[in-house]
Amino acid sequence: MKINNDNIIISFKNLSKKFGDFQAVSNINIDIKRGEIIGFLGPNGAGKSTTMKMMAYLLKPTKGEIWIRGNGKLEKLSNHNKDYLLNNIGFLIENPAFYGNVSPRMILKYFAELKGYPKKKVNQRIEEVLETFGMMNWIDKKIKTFSKGMRQKIGIASAIIHNPDIVVLDEPTTGLDPQARREIRDFILNLKNKGKTIFLSSHLLYEVSEVADRIAIINRGKIVAFDTLDNLESKNQKSIINIELLNHPEDNELDRILEHIREILIPFIGVSDDLNWLNYNKDNKIFQVLFNGDPKNQLIILKTLLRHEYEIIEFSVPKAGLLENLFIDLTSSEKTQYLDKKFDENQKLKEISMEV
Ligand SMILES: Nc1ncnc2c1ncn2[C@@H]1O[C@H](COP(=O)(O)OP(=O)(O)O)[C@@H](O)[C@H]1O
Ligand SMILES: [Mg+2]
């Protein structure tokens, strides 16, 4: 089997979890490579925390396995090796709850010792970690005086206090203000620069798209996509291009112009006769063209407009809007069935080619 691949540090194999009759996680197959950030993206209730709890051995899979690299080789997580395998992982799962009367120093000491971090080095390590969060001044203050963002930073600090190679963070920035979110995001990138492998969940697309090397989208317990952002986009074959013309159309000529632009572009962009592929936003005076994402066509669209003497003063291909579309597409109920089928087919092909 391919589990000898040296780069893989975690491997989910048909990982599944049922609560009674309810299938919360269904046949997850994901390989995580050393040093990468995997964004685990899905709407609330999709099964993210359940998956992460199975990694932390807080929940047992009803089917499937989790393999984690221990001493050089991947090992199936089970009762007899969980302590040693999980010592190399830092977990922050759901909101950490701390007693209000303790200080960061006490909390971090507790977790460092729990994870067997060398006693002699604990104090230095605590200071080093708090320093990276700019929280040294708070080292002996009581948690009850902390803001939500500060508590979350202490939660992350306690997850990584023993300096693990793998870090699992479940919605680390949810509910935080933009400043705290940015600090946590920078901290995650900093961990990656130190060679750590990071498995990061969020229900917010932009939070994982900013940092993740690859994104696994989970919906109703199933992985509906797993790839780099760029590949997800080009596979999805849908891009938006925003265009502002030098001469903004007057109300009474708008319909005619829209019709004309449709006429000249339709041979090149290969879209259906659904007219929504071209829109005009009167507020910001921007034309929005939905096309199949091929960069060649992006050029053709612009050239064609120019050839017909539309003067373009600005154009852009907004990344966020595009990604949002993709995420909504993949997690909306109608499409899910189709994608499930597609994904199962791909999975089957993969399995077959693995056997050969
Ligand atoms: N202990 C449990 N018992 C029953 N159902 C659960 C339990 N934990 C989670 N669920 C259900 O499983 C689904 C996935 O939950 P969860 O993994 O927490 O989603 P996410 O973290 O993606 O928001 C949800 O529908 C949730 O209600
Ligand atoms: Mg959750």
Q: What's the CATH number where 161 sits?
A: 3.40.50.300
Atom of ligand 1 nearest to the CA of 52: 17
Is residue 78 located within the same domain as residue 92? yes
pLDDT of residue 279: 86
Strand partners, 75: 68
Do both 167 and 310 map to the same domain? Answer: no
270 is a domain residue:
yes
Cβ pair 13, 67 in contact under 8 A: yes
19, 41, 95, best to mutate for ligand 1 pocket (most atoms within 8 Å of CB): 19
- From the alpha carbon of 171, which atom of ligand 1 is closest? 21
Please identify, among 230, 261, 279, the residue that sits at the C-terminal boundary of a domain. Answer: 230
Two tokens, residue 176: 């935080």
278 assigned to some structural domain: yes
User: Is the CB of 50 within 6 Å of ligand 1?
Assistant: yes
Residue 344 maps to a domain: no
- Same domain? For 290 and 201 the reply is no
What tokens appear for 161 in the block?
A: 């206090």
Q: Which residues of the chain have pLDDT under 50?
A: 1-3, 334-356
Interatomic CA distance for residues 24 and 105, integer angstroms: 37
48 alpha carbon – ligand 2 mean position (Å): 5
Q: What is the pLDDT of residue 236?
A: 57
Asked if residue 337 belongs to a domain, the reply is no
Does the beta carbon of 44 sit less than 6 angstroms from any atom of ligand 1? yes
Distance 20 CA to ligand 1 centre (A): 12
| pLDDT (0 to 100) of residue 320 | 53
Of 184, 204, 230, which one is at a domain's C-terminal end? 230
Same domain (yes/no): 139, 281: no
Ligand nearest to the CA of 217: 1
- Ligand 2 centroid–CA 49 distance in Å is 4
CB 310 within 8 A of CB 263: no
Nearest CA to ligand 1 atom 8: 50
Same domain, 201 and 276: no
Residue 243 and residue 193 share a domain: no
Provide CB contacts within 8 A for 326, sequence distance 6+. Answer: 232, 233, 236, 238
Shared-domain flag, residues 41 and 169? yes
Ligand 1 lined by 17 (C-beta under 6 Å):
no
Give, in degrees to the nearest 5, the angle at Cα 126 between 121 and 132: 125
Same domain, 61 and 186: yes
The reply to whether 149 and 277 lie within a common domain is no
Expressed as residue numbers, the domain containing 146 is 2-230
Domain for residue 355, yes or no? no
3-state secondary structure of 224: strand
pLDDT for position 294: 74
Q: Which atom of ligand 1 is nearest to the CA of 53?
A: 17
What CATH number is associated with residue 307?
A: 3.30.70.980
Residue pair 11/66 in contact (Cβ under 8 Å)? The answer is yes
Q: What is the pLDDT of residues 262-295, one digit of tens each?
A: 888 887 765 555 667 888 988 889 998 888 767 7
- Total count of domains within the chain: 2
Q: Are residues 20 and 149 in the same domain?
A: yes
Task: Indicate if 200 and 219 belong to the same structural domain.
Answer: yes
CA of 26 to the centre of ligand 1 (A): 12
Residue 304 CA to ligand 2 center (angstroms) comes to 47
Q: What is the pLDDT of residue 323?
A: 63
Q: Are residues 144 and 194 in the same domain?
A: yes
Stated pTM of the model: 0.74
